[in-house]
């Protein structure tokens, strides 16, 4: 089932930005810091969870969460959850408090009915400050509704987990809470929760646990596929977050022996799809082979995360593998054990495999999943899946790119990927879709493309190529403005937008004149080929060019 958002969502978003007809609950804390409800609902339902807003507001927050968050209907089975929410709070199937708190925290991002943390003030802190709580403590402001709910979600998750009760729902709450921390650029807290949610194996359909899972066997297909979705959401969230930093992953890809998720329509209906009809994470060519009866945009999103993971892990390990004599990371164009030559893995089998997968990933999509935007309707998972191989290409090639060296294929690859990301950014910005509802990872992708273009702007400034300077500044201006538009709702995007602006100013200086070079989209073939001219090697493959690069000492002439 294709998961889409369109004009109807934009209309609903506009309506939700208005104050709803219900009054906000008054939340308080007891003397020991535990949540306490001031709604008086304990008079009606003695077991109503403390700190949870009144039922009308709670349902509103739950509904906006499921409507607007791209992963909401994968982390939780929507029909089952809404049925459980209609039960009495004393019913054993009523949702646990931690998952309700987590949903309220994330749902606050999409409605004006409750308060969220204010957008960061970068006049008081650096945009690349990862310990944002320092500024938070200096402000001395009270917690917003969303922050209260996040703290309640964290505390109640710990309490419920400590007694080993309803562990699956605890993991759901923690996964959702990670999305809250990420959106609000609470990166230190997010990394902690990413580690927590990756330490528990949840699938059971194949009985492959040795020892057995601490969870009892899933009683239904829906429960079993919920566990699998939860694993993949935790895996992908860590991989997408991890490509922006140097931290090691908490789980090695080689340790993942897991079935891929079922299609969304099968999940919603509880259709049993047996293992021999499905792909596994370790299936050969799993990333570029997509059986139509098993594939939807969410499955492609998972596979895209796997590409990024492979690129990130390769970069963190190839040097140690090289010095251990692992031939998979040795290029035939380099001299082994030469202490005077830097390790260049680009002609190695492992590098070539990842690079080829990233290059062919989007073209391998089934025909009905090639275009993420149709008639102003955006398939969020498919849109991000289209960005992912471009991000992987940049992650893989950027450490080796010498943008001033003539014939540097890595430089050509990263600028081509960056401009493909730019094209996708323009494509979604040219619709009526509210881009503040995009997955927060999109703002990182656009920032990454901008960071690459800054390197080329520096090179163009060095040789005073006015045409390229004008074009590159226009491209960077567009990307920064697009990221800042998302930042009107999502603090993480605001941080990336400011970081990109600061990077341009620091490395290239302020523009001495107004940007007049118009950008045209889609890019013409002549504009696409222009990058090849910069590097004086049009049409060469990576492997044809690598042997030439070793002896090429001239520098890129962008003028």
DSSP code per residue over 273-305: --GGGS-BTTSTTTTT---GGG--HHHHHHHHH
- Asked, as a colleague might, if the bond just before 522 is cis with ω within 30 of 0, I would say yes
Query: Tokens at residue 367, please?
Result: 């025909």
Cite the beta strand spans of 15-134 per DSSP E: 27-29, 35-37
Q: What is the DSSP letter of 231?
A: H
Count CB-CB contacts under 10 A for residue 366: 12
Check whether 343 has a pLDDT greater than 50.
Answer: yes
Sign of the Cα pseudo-torsion (424, 351, 284, 72, in order)? negative
Check whether 233 has a pLDDT greater than 50.
Answer: yes
Give backbone dihedrals phi and psi of 209, rounded to 5 degrees, phi first.
-75, 125
Check whether 146 has a pLDDT greater than 50.
Answer: yes
pLDDT of amino acid 45? 66
Task: Give 342's pLDDT tier (boundaries 50, 70, 90).
Answer: confident
Query: Tokens at residue 388, please?
Result: 């992912």
pLDDT of amino acid 436? 96
CA distance 495 to 182: 12
Task: Give 531's pLDDT tier (boundaries 50, 70, 90).
Answer: low
pLDDT of amino acid 512? 65
- Please name the helix (run of DSSP H) or strand (run of DSSP E) that holds residue 147, with its range, or none: helix 145-162
Check whether 247 has a pLDDT greater than 90.
Answer: no
Query: Tokens at residue 9, please?
Result: 């969502």
Residue of 166, 159, 232 lying closest to 201 (CA atoms): 232
Is 493 within 8 Å of 486 (Cβ atoms)?
yes
- Asked, as a colleague might, if the bond just before 341 is cis with ω within 30 of 0, I would say no
Tell which wins on pLDDT, 259 or 338.
259
Task: Give 521's pLDDT tier (boundaries 50, 70, 90).
Answer: low
Domain extents in the chain = 1-197, 202-345, 401-559
- Please name the helix (run of DSSP H) or strand (run of DSSP E) that holds residue 374, with its range, or none: strand 373-374
Give backbone dihedrals phi and psi of 232, rounded to 5 degrees, phi first.
-70, -35
Tell which wins on pLDDT, 300 or 30.
300
Mean pLDDT of the chain: 83
The H-assigned helical ranges of 245-379 are 264-269, 297-323, 349-360
CA distance 263 to 163: 34
- Please name the helix (run of DSSP H) or strand (run of DSSP E) that holds residue 378, with its range, or none: strand 377-378
Sign of the Cα pseudo-torsion (163, 166, 167, 173, in order)? negative
Query: Which residue is it, tokens 């990233």?
Result: 358
Is 160 within 8 Å of 170 (Cβ atoms)?
yes
pLDDT of amino acid 487? 96
Average pLDDT over residues 439-450: 97
pLDDT of amino acid 4? 45
CA distance 218 to 206: 11
Query: Rg of the Cα trace of the chain?
Result: 25
Check whether 96 has a pLDDT greater than 70.
Answer: yes
Query: Tokens at residue 374, please?
Result: 């149709």
């Amino acid at each position: 089932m294709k998961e889409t958002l369109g004009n109807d969502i934009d209309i609903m978003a506009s309506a939700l930005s208005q104050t709803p007809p219900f009054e906000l609950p008054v939340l308080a804390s007891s003397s020991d810091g535990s949540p306490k409800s001031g709604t008086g609902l304990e008079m009606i339902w003695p077991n109503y969870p403390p700190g949870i807003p009144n039922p009308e507001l709670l349902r509103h927050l739950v509904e906006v969460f499921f409507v607007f968050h791209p992963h909401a209907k994968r982390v939780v089975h929507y029909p089952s959850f809404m049925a459980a929410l209609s039960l009495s709070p004393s019913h054993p199937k009523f949702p646990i408090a931690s998952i309700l708190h987590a949903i309220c925290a994330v749902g606050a991002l999409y409605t004006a009915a409750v308060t969220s943390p204010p957008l960061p003030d970068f006049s008081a802190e650096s945009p690349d400050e990862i310990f944002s709580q320092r500024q938070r403590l200096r402000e001395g402001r009270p917690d917003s509704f969303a922050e209260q709910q996040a703290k309640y979600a964290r505390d109640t998750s710990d309490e419920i987990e400590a007694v080993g009760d309803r562990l699956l729902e605890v993991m759901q709450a923690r996964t959702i809470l990670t999305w809250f921390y990420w959106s609000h650029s609470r990166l230190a807290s997010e990394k902690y929760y990413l580690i927590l949610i990756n330490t528990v194996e949840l699938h059971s359909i194949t009985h492959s646990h040795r020892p057995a899972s601490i969870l009892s066997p899933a009683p239904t297909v829906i429960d079993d596929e919920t566990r699998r979705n939860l694993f993949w959401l935790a895996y992908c969230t860590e991989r997408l977050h991890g490509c922006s930093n140097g931290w090691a992953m908490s789980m090695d890809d080689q340790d993942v022996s897991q079935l891929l998720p079922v299609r969304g329509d099968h999940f919603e209906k509880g259709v049993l799809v047996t293992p021999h009809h499905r792909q596994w994470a370790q299936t050969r060519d799993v990333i570029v082979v997509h059986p139509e009866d098993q594939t939807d945009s969410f499955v492609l999103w998972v596979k895209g995360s796997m590409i990024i993971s492979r690129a990130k892990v390769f970069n963190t390990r190839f040097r140690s593998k090289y010095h251990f004599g692992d031939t998979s990371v040795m290029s035939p164009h380099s001299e082994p054990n030469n202490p005077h030559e830097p390790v260049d893995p680009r002609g190695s089998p492992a590098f070539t495999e990842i690079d080829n997968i990233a290059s062919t990933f989007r073209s391998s999509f089934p025909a009905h999943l090639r275009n993420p935007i149709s008639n102003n309707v955006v398939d969020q998972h498919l849109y991000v899946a289209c960005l992912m191989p471009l991000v992987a290409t940049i992650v893989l090639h950027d450490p080796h790119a010498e943008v001033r060296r003539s014939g540097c294929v890595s430089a050509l690859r990263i600028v081509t990927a960056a401009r493909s990301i730019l094209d996708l950014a323009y494509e979604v910005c040219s619709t009526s879709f509210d881009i503040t509802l995009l997955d927060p990872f999109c703002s990182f992708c656009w920032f990454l493309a901008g960071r690459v273009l800054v390197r080329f702007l520096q090179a163009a400034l060095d040789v005073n190529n006015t045409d390229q300077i004008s074009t590159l500044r226009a491209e960077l201006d567009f990307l920064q403005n697009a990221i800042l538009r998302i930042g009107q709702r999502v603090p993480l995007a605001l941080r990336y937008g400011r970081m990109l602006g600061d990077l341009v100013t620091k490395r290239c200086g302020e523009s001495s004149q107004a940007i007049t070079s118009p950008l045209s989209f889609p890019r013409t073939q002549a504009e696409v080929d222009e990058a090849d001219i910069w590097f004086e090697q049009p049409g060469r493959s990576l492997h044809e060019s690598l042997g030439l690069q070793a002896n090429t000492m001239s520098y890129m002439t962008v003028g």
